[in-house]
């Protein structure tokens, strides 16, 4: 219940201002940034800005999913076998949760009515 409430508080009564999943990720502070200068092998890290309370809520959601959600458990096992660290896996899962949240927040688009 607290998760949904926090998401609604952050997005406000105007979810249209969040035009893309990337915008929401930047607002929350989950958008990936390069890990360091120079050649980093494509590694990314999570930025330190954004709405920290919502970021904490998303992190708790990911931790619970890693424990109880079977598709997430399978994903973690697969990524661990690839050599990813737990921190990298959590970063990816946070972004996936943001994708799901953005999809749910997106206002229903009106379909053009058929000409009679």
Tell me the CA end-to-end span of the chain in Å, nearest whole number.
Answer: 45
Q: Per the domain annotation, does 86 fall within a domain?
A: yes
pLDDT digits (tens, 9 = 90+) for 10-45: 777 666 778 888 888 888 888 877 777 765 566 777
Q: Per the domain annotation, does 69 fall within a domain?
A: yes
> Phi/psi of residue 45, each to 5°?
-135, 170
Q: Per the domain annotation, does 101 fall within a domain?
A: yes
Structure confidence at residue 32 (pLDDT): 75
Rg (CA), the chain: 17
C-alpha separations of 28 from 7, 24, 25, 115 in Å: 10, 6, 5, 42
Domain count within the chain: 1
Q: Per the domain annotation, does 114 fall within a domain?
A: no
Residue 116 in this model has a pLDDT that exceeds 80: no
The answer to whether the CB of 95 falls within 8 A of the CB of 32 is yes
Q: Per the domain annotation, does 52 fall within a domain?
A: yes
Boundaries of domain holding 28: 2-35+44-105
Region 93-109 average pLDDT: 81
pLDDT-derived band at 46, boundaries 50, 70, 90: low
Cα distance between residue 95 and residue 92, in whole Å: 5
């Amino acid at each position: 219940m607290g998760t949904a409430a926090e998401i609604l508080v952050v997005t406000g009564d105007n979810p249209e201002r969040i035009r893309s999943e990337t915008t929401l990720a930047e607002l929350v502070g989950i958008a990936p940034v390069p890990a360091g200068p120079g050649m980093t092998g494509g590694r990314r890290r999570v930025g330190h800005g954004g709405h920290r309370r919502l970021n904490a809520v998303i992190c708790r959601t990911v931790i619970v999913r890693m424990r109880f959600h079977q598709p997430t458990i399978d994903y973690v096992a697969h990524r661990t076998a690839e050599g990813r660290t737990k921190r990298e896996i959590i970063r990816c899962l946070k972004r996936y949760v943001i994708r799901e949240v953005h999809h749910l927040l997106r206002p229903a688009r009106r379909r053009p009515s058929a000409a009679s």
